[in-house]
């Protein structure tokens, strides 16, 4: 997956999990480059993608800010489900499954739910 899409996905997940909220400021391009080693143009491309999707807005001289949220689940419920899922993943690893096996199982379950 291209680096800019990984950055977009990370921001979208943080929005969905409630770690980022409308009004929060995203790290500057320089901060992301320093922390991750990703090229500045890659970060700019990710931020543009997020802006085009209406999730963030760039404010001249101030930075990039979260404009909208994703997901509407109660944060306490999300935390409880995350904890239970972490336990399930631990059991899966103990049973010999690798991360890709776990991802495959999750994809199957989600696909079956859509039917």
Domain locations in the chain?
Answer: 3-66, 75-114
Q: Residue 113 phi/psi, 5° resolution? A: -65, -30
Q: Which residue has the higher pLDDT, 40 or 114?
A: 40
Question: What is the tens place of the pLDDT at every residue in 83-93?
Answer: 999 999 999 99
d(CA 72, CA 25) in angstroms, rounded, equals 20
What is the reported pTM? 0.71
d(CA 37, CA 18) in angstroms, rounded, equals 26
> Looking at residue 18, what is its pLDDT?
82
d(CA 42, CA 37) in angstroms, rounded, equals 10
H-run or E-run covering 58 = strand 56-59
Overall average pLDDT of the 8-16 stretch = 93
Q: What is the DSSP letter of 60?
A: T
pLDDT at 52 over 90: yes
> Looking at residue 17, what is its pLDDT?
83
> Looking at residue 71, what is its pLDDT?
73
Question: What is the tens place of the pLDDT at every residue in 21-48?
Answer: 999 999 999 999 999 999 999 999 999 9
Q: Does domain 3-66 have CATH number 3.30.540.10?
A: no
d(CA 27, CA 31) in angstroms, rounded, equals 6
Q: Which residues are CB-contacts of 65 (< 8 A; sequence separation ≥ 6)?
A: 23, 24, 25, 26, 56, 57, 59
């Amino acid at each position: 997956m291209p680096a800019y899409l990984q950055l977009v996905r990370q921001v979208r997940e943080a929005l969905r999990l409630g770690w980022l909220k409308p009004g929060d400021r995203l790290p500057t391009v320089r901060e992301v480059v320093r922390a991750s080693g990703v090229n500045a143009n890659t970060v700019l491309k990710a931020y543009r993608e997020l802006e085009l999707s209406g999730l963030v807005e760039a404010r001249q001289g101030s930075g990039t800010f979260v404009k909208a949220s994703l997901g509407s689940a109660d944060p306490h419920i999300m935390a409880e489900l995350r904890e239970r899922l972490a336990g399930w993943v631990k059991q899966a690893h103990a049973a010999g499954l690798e991360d890709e096996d776990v991802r495959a199982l999750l994809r199957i379950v989600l696909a079956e739910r859509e039917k």
